[in-house]
Amino acid sequence: MNWFSPFRSMLRRATSMKRADASMSDPGSRFLLVGLGNPGKEHRLNRHNVGFMAIDHLASEHGINLGRVQNKAIVGDGRVGGKSVILVKPQTYMNRSGNAVGPLASYYRIAPEDVLVIYDDIDLPPGTIRLREKGGSGGHNGMKSIIQHLGNDFPRLRLGVGRPSGKMSPAAYVLQDFGNDEQQLVQTMLDNVLRAVESFLEEGVDLAMSRHNGSVLDKSTE
């Protein structure tokens, strides 16, 4: 038996609680960055999960460990763009995302204007990103759920996945994986998301919108 294992576990829990308590002690100094998707390996590469992919990319690039479960979400805290952030992947399934996001925002005392939600949008061409300061749900069920908890006045970053061709329903389309021919486009879009989020945190929503809204193809010609 390893006599140190219980003590290591206690130390990890204490460190995690201390970090959360420290974050709560200074309200207004941190942001909740939320990516929407569905839990489970079968959904990992779905178009509907591009919000999760964006959070994973942010975590990887900024050395943030998404290793904690809290309020029905996978979370990790760290720094992005010089700001303290909490990365969030709700595990409630898409249509109930607000059941995770609302309680987390309340627990950490984060105002709606400091909650950035990243999600897929079939009404934007593939590879396009669109940051907005506030707005409606646009028919997105995950956003409908969050709006029920936070209202409409929170920023959101929409990631274009396009519409299906032929007679396929949009619901079936977003639950399909990205095709092999889309992989490079998706990766480039996620890189653009990384820069847009950093800009949002460092410079504010207005400058971030003016600099980063658009498509991958637009950015490649600049």
According to DSSP, the residues that pair with 177 across neighbouring strands are: 46
Domain that holds residue 74: 28-220
Within a domain: 2: no
> Residues 98-111: pLDDT tens digits?
999 999 999 999 99
Within a domain: 76: yes
Within a domain: 129: yes
pLDDT bucket at 218, cuts 50 / 70 / 90: low
What pLDDT, on a 0 to 100 scale, did the predictor assign at position 106? 97
Burial degree of 78 (CB within 10 A; 0-12, 13-18, 19+): middle
Within a domain: 9: no
Within a domain: 12: no
pLDDT at 19 over 80: no
Within a domain: 7: no
pLDDT bucket at 204, cuts 50 / 70 / 90: very high
What pLDDT, on a 0 to 100 scale, did the predictor assign at position 219? 56
Residues acting as catalytic residues: 48
pLDDT bucket at 65, cuts 50 / 70 / 90: very high
Tell me, what DSSP letter sits at residue 94? G
> Residues 149-161: pLDDT tens digits?
999 999 999 999 9
CATH number, residue 38: 3.40.50.1470
What pLDDT, on a 0 to 100 scale, did the predictor assign at position 94? 97
pLDDT bucket at 215, cuts 50 / 70 / 90: confident
Tell me how far apart the alpha carbons of residues 177 and 185 are, in angstroms, rounded to a whole number.
14
Within a domain: 16: no
Helix (H) or strand (E) segment spanning residue 122: none
Within a domain: 115: yes
pLDDT at 88 over 60: yes
Q: How many domains does the chain have?
A: 1
